[in-house]
Structure 1
C-alpha cells in the first residue's frame, strides 16, 4: 500500500524544512501533496525562495486520503498555520485518529495549542518559540519539553529546525513505512551515520 502525506506551506515557511520533508518522503515512495495555506499556490518562503504548492489548502477536503499531516517551520508560515481555522480543523481531525501521524518542526508546533491538540505530550520545537507553547501562567501546554533533535510521542513527531529535518523526515518515513525503508532512502543520500543506522 502506498502511504501519503499532506505537507503544508505558506508565505514565510522555512524553505529548507519544506523541501527536505517533501523530498525525503517522496524518495520513500510516499505520495506527498504540498498544500498552500496562503491565498496563492505560489508562496514566498522565509529566505525569499518561491515554491509552488500542488494545491491550495482550501481545496483539500478528504482527510482520509492522507496518512500524515506535516507542518514545516519558519515563523511567518507557522503563524499562518496557527491562525488558520482550516489548519486547526485538519490538525484536530488527524490527531483524533489513532492511525494518522501529526508532525511539526521548528516553529510549526505553535499551531498545536490553538488547534486544541497535543496537550500533555512530549514535544520539542525551535528554542525561539518554546515560550509560545506555554498556557496561561507558568503551566506548560506540553507534558515535557525536550532538547532532543526529534521527539516522538505516539504518532506525534516534533523536531527543532532546518538542521534536524533529515532526521525528522526519516522518522515520519519510519512511522509510515518502517525502518527498512528508512535505510533504503538514507544510505544513497550519504547522510551522516548518526542520522540513520548503518
Structure 2
C-alpha cells in the first residue's frame, strides 16, 4: 500500500486538503496528516479539523510522497525550515512532491524547481523563477513533481496523484465512483 504525508497548518485551504485526502483514501492510498504546530488546525475559512502527527516526527523512509495544500497559510510554510528540508529530501529520493495553489512557491524556495514545469495560483509566483514553464493548466506533472492551480482543480490534482502513485486504472475507477466528468 502506498503511503503519503500531507502538511497542514493554520490558514490552509480546507478543500484542497480534505478533498485530496478523501480522494487518496478512496484509492486505498494511506494519508497521514502532519501539522507544523498544534494538531488543531483552523483553515482559511474558519473550518476546524485535526492533524494526526507533528511534522517533526515525519520520516521520509516511511512515505512515497509529500503533499502540500495551499491557501493563505502558505506564507508561514515558505519560511519553515523543517518543511523546506523535507521538500528537498523527498525530491532527492525521487519521491512524489506535490503542491497546489500557492504552495508551489514552497517547492521553489526549497530549490527543487530548476527546469521543472509547474502551475500555480495566479499571482502566487514568488520563488518560481527557476521553473521552466509556468503553465496556466489545471495540473502539471513533471517527473515526480505535481503542481496544481488551485481549489477549482482539486479533483484533477487528486486524480493525478492517484494516477502517479497507483495507475491509470485506479484513477479512472475513482473518477467513475465520484461521478466526475459525468
Provide the TM-score with structure 1 as the length reference: 0.89
User: Which residue does 1:146 correspond to in 2?
Assistant: 135
Q: Structure 2: how far apart are the matches of 1:64 and 1:144?
A: 30
Extract unaligned runs of 5+ from structure 1. Answer: 135-139, 194-198
Query: How far does residue 52 in structure 1 lie from its aligned partner after superposition?
Result: 0.2
Greater helix share, 1 or 2?
1
- State how many pairs are aligned: 182
What are the residue-to-residue correspondences of 1:35-74 with 2, within 5 Å?
Answer: 35-37=34-36, 39-60=37-58, 62-74=59-71
Query: Is 2:23 aligned against 1:27?
Result: no
Query: Is 2:127 aligned against 1:133?
Result: yes
User: Which residue does 2:97 correspond to in 1?
Assistant: 102
Alignment RMSD: 1.1
User: Which residue does 2:72 correspond to in 1?
Assistant: 75
Q: Structure 1: how far apart are the matches of 2:84 and 2:47?
A: 26
Query: How far does residue 91 in structure 1 lie from its aligned partner after superposition?
Result: 0.4
The superposition leaves residues 67-101 of structure 1 with CA deviations (integer Å, 9 ceiling, x where unpaired) of 0100000022x112211110011100111123x11
Provide the TM-score with structure 2 as the length reference: 0.96
Query: How far does residue 58 in structure 1 lie from its aligned partner after superposition?
Result: 1.4
Larger Rg: 1 or 2?
1
Extract unaligned runs of 5+ from structure 2. Answer: none
Q: Structure 1: how far apart are the matches of 2:154 and 2:76?
A: 20
